[in-house]
């Protein structure tokens, strides 16, 4: 797994709160990409509580979504984030996304 949110001027939690358009809570989404009237060109991010630190993994493809969706005892919260925000911050590039 390779793409994570690591903002320079705030916590991951603050960045997700400011930039996500929807949260699924603890329920993993069925697809890594979402396109609808409310959320156009968005991608799912999984916030993982590793006890000592948190990680915000970006689901750039179905394989990443599957890996982050596995039950492994860690608390996970799902956030839907506009692709333009992730690209604009330099967390990913458009070519990193695969269907």
Tell me if 7 is assigned to some domain. no
Tell me if 2 is assigned to some domain. no
Tell me if 99 is assigned to some domain. no
Tell me if 97 is assigned to some domain. no
Tell me if 72 is assigned to some domain. yes
* pLDDT tens digits for range 55-68: 999 999 889 988 99
Number of domains forming the structure of the chain: 1
In the prediction, which pLDDT does 39 show? Answer: 41
For residues 28 and 43, give the distance between their C-alpha atoms in angstroms, rounded to a whole number.
12
In the prediction, which pLDDT does 58 show? Answer: 96
Let me know the angle formed at the C-alpha of 12 by 54 and 58, rounded to the nearest 5 degrees. Answer: 80
Tell me if 5 is assigned to some domain. no
Tell me if 19 is assigned to some domain. yes
Asked whether 59 and 80 are in contact (CB, 8 A), the reply is no
Residues forming a β-bridge with 46:
57, 78
Global confidence as pTM: 0.87
Residue ranges making up the domain that contains 61: 12-92
Tell me if 6 is assigned to some domain. no
């Amino acid at each position: 797994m390779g793409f994570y949110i690591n903002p320079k001027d705030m916590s991951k939690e603050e960045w997700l709160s400011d930039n996500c358009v929807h949260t699924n809570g603890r329920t993993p989404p069925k697809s890594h990409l979402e396109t609808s009237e409310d959320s156009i060109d968005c991608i799912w991010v999984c916030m993982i509580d590793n006890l000592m630190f948190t990680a915000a993994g970006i689901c750039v493809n179905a394989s990443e979504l599957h890996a982050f969706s596995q039950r492994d005892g860690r608390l996970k919260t799902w956030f839907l984030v506009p692709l333009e925000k992730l690209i604009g911050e330099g967390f990913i590039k458009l070519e990193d996304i695969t269907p």
